[in-house]
A and B are shown apart, each in its own frame.
Chain A
Amino acid sequence: MKNKIILSADTTNLDALYQFIKDTLEKDFIKGVQINVLEMVCEEIFTNIANYAYQDRANDKNKGDVEIEIETSTNQIIFTFKDKGTPFDPLSVKEPDINMTLDERDYGGLGLLMVKKSVDKIEYNYQNDENIFKLFKTITNVI
């Protein structure tokens, strides 16, 4: 089943995004997934878009939109994020070295690393002036 929501690219909409994830999984009777992990993953992607995709409209009231689709089936959930902002391939970001000591550590790059390690597959495409970012999460322990 496909479920869609369009939100303005502003982090104040994160609670609406969490609610959409929860409602969708309940409505489609999806069990055997950790909802807090899915919320964390979607937080990272949405926040990235909110902070960087529409920087040219930073002072604009209309921030630009993000379309989020959740497609559920018996063994997998697919999240699709679409925005019309600056082309950005999240897969091109260099991963931070996780073996650095406390002193060497800085504060960047962790979000995408967490996303990559929390889902089973990631795809990025730029089509029709849109960033299209897909996350695939396999459902285990189907009840």
Chain B
Amino acid sequence: MNIEFKKENENTVVDMEGRLDTNTAPDFQKELEEYYNAQGFSLILDFEKLDFVSSAGLRVLLLIQKKSKALSGNMIIKNVKPEIQEVFNMTGFSEILTIE
């Protein structure tokens, strides 16, 4: 999986490409660590080029979402493919995450 960071106003936009699976999720978590540990962080994850999210990927998203509550931060996920949206729905994550 490829990850690219860019700054848009106050937000950090993360372009993700490929598969968020059990092999790439730990790297993804590590690369985002400094962002989601900052008070009041604002992350936008762009899923346009993401093929799928496995349960290992969901665990990292859950972790960041929990952090956002603890640190008054914010995580928005955008450009979600229907198949990935389906995974969010079937796991109840669509109720927990902010998806645009």
Contact = CB atoms under 8 A, between A and B. Distances in A.
Nearest to A50: B22
A1 B95 CA distance: 41
B58 A11 contact: no
A117 B87 CA distance: 9
Contacts of A117: 90
Nearest to A47: B22
Given A34-B83, A44-B55, A100-B92, A39 B62 contact: no
B91 A37 contact: no
Contacts of A39: 19, 51-52
B83 A37 contact: yes
Instruction: Classify chain B's interface size.
Output: 20 to 34
Interface string B47-67: 000011111101100110110
Interface string A91-122: 00000001111110101001101100110000
A40 B23 CA distance: 12
A71 interface: no
A139 interface: no
B92 A40 contact: no
A44 B54 contact: yes
Contacts of B71: none
A43 B91 contact: no
Contact of A12 (B23, B51, B92): B23
Interface residues of A, number: 26
A110 B96 CA distance: 14
A44 B56 CA distance: 9
A103 B86 CA distance: 22
A111 B23 contact: no
Contacts of A34: 83
Nearest to A105: B62
Interface string A14-55: 100010000000000000001011011001100100000000
Contact of B23 (A14, A100, A102, A114): A14
Contacts of B95: 99
Interface of A: 11-12, 14, 18, 34, 36-37, 39-40, 43-44, 47, 98-103, 105, 107, 110-111, 113-114, 117-118
